[in-house]
């Protein structure tokens, strides 16, 4: 009996020591009051089903916002859901993701529609053909240029400058240059008829068409003594594209740019064309050019 009592006492002492060790060395007594409070304690209240539903809906909206941008109606729905009674107070309206703005496309080349030159050439109404007799192809006129009606054919050939396919491109360019070179004073009466096709060529914003049109415009100014002055009233129709592309220059440092030899740099070609227009445009040329192109500086001023 004594041995069993001693064993039970030692067991009780060891349990008390373990209890002290687990509670930081202090024994917490359990009184009747604590026992009653433990028994009368109610289980934790479950989450409101509407709050759980709101959390799930907000999770779905978050997943959808990552893939597509929220529309105003969707953001308004999220705002209404967050303002309902019983919803989460910390819910925030999802902001649409940032979208990079699109470019305006001011320098983008426009689509070139088929011109009257193509239609007339396919129908056989133009008195020109390509001569392949030599090593280099040439333009051959089937009638004498002195017998041509410049007021009818020259605008058609000028309109064909925006044709980029062969043989229309070759025929339109060489035909226009031949008529300007051999036309002389016959070009001046039909100058007003050349403004619409020249403006349409410039509005294409195609670099190849722009370079061709500027070269032809320089030839047009030099073909007749009074053509430059007659073009001054039409600067507002022609120089708007010049103002847009005047800064398109190539800065290649000490490298070689072969486009300069071929005169294919749009910015440099625009400056050369403006200089020709100012030199042959009379006293009112610079004022009208400065109105359309504010950054242009006169080439006629004296340098000190």
Torsion sign (Cα): 264, 136, 159, 219? positive
46-96 pLDDT, tens digit per residue, is: 545 556 676 677 777 677 655 544 444 544 554 454 444 444 444 445 556
Quote the CA–CA distance of 208 and 162 in Å, as a whole number: 8
pLDDT given for residue 2 in this prediction: 45
149-175 pLDDT, tens digit per residue, is: 888 999 999 999 998 888 899 999 999
Q: Are 281 and 231 in contact (CB under 8 A)?
A: yes
Quote the CA–CA distance of 76 and 71 in Å, as a whole number: 9
Average pLDDT over residues 11-19: 53
Average pLDDT over residues 5-13: 53
Residue 144 scores a pLDDT above 50 = yes
Residue 30 scores a pLDDT above 50 = no
Q: Where are the chain's structural domains?
A: 110-292
Q: What is the pTM of this model?
A: 0.62
Quote the CA–CA distance of 297 and 232 in Å, as a whole number: 17
Question: Lowest-confidence range among 75-79, 189-193, 203-207, 256-260?
Answer: 75-79
pLDDT given for residue 22 in this prediction: 47
87-141 pLDDT, tens digit per residue, is: 444 444 555 667 778 888 787 878 888 889 999 999 988 888 888 887 788 888 8
pLDDT given for residue 31 in this prediction: 47
């Amino acid at each position: 009996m004594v041995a069993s009592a001693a064993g039970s006492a030692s067991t009780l002492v060891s349990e008390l020591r373990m209890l002290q060790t687990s509670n930081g060395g202090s024994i917490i007594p359990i009184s009747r009051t604590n026992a009653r409070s433990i028994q009368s304690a109610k289980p934790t209240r479950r989450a409101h089903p509407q709050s759980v539903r709101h959390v799930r809906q907000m999770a779905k909206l978050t997943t959808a916002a990552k893939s597509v941008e929220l529309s105003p109606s969707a953001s308004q729905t999220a705002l209404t859901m967050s303002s309902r009674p019983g919803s989460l107070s910390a819910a925030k309206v999802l902001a649409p993701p940032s979208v990079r703005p699109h470019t305006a496309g001011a320098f983008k080349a426009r689509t070139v529609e088929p011109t009257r030159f193509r239609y007339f050439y396919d129908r056989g109404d133009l008195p020109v053909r390509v001569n392949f007799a030599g090593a280099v192809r040439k333009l051959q006129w089937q009638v004498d240029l002195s017998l041509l009606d410049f007021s009818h054919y020259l605008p058609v050939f000028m309109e064909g400058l925006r044709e980029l396919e062969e043989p229309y491109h070759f025929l339109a360019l060489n035909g226009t240059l031949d008529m300007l070179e051999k036309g002389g004073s016959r070009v001046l009466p039909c100058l007003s008829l050349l403004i619409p096709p020249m403006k349409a060529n410039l509005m294409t914003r195609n670099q190849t068409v722009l370079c061709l049109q500027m070269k032809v415009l320089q030839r047009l100014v030099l073909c007749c003594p009074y053509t430059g002055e007659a073009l001054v009233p039409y600067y507002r129709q022609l120089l708007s594209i010049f103002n847009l592309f005047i800064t398109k220059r190539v800065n290649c440092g000490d490298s070689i740019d072969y486009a300069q030899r071929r005169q294919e740099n749009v910015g440099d070609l625009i400056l050369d064309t403006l200089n020709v227009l100012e030199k042959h445009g009379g006293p009112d040329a610079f004022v009208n050019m400065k109105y359309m192109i504010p950054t242009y500086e006169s080439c006629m001023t004296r340098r000190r």
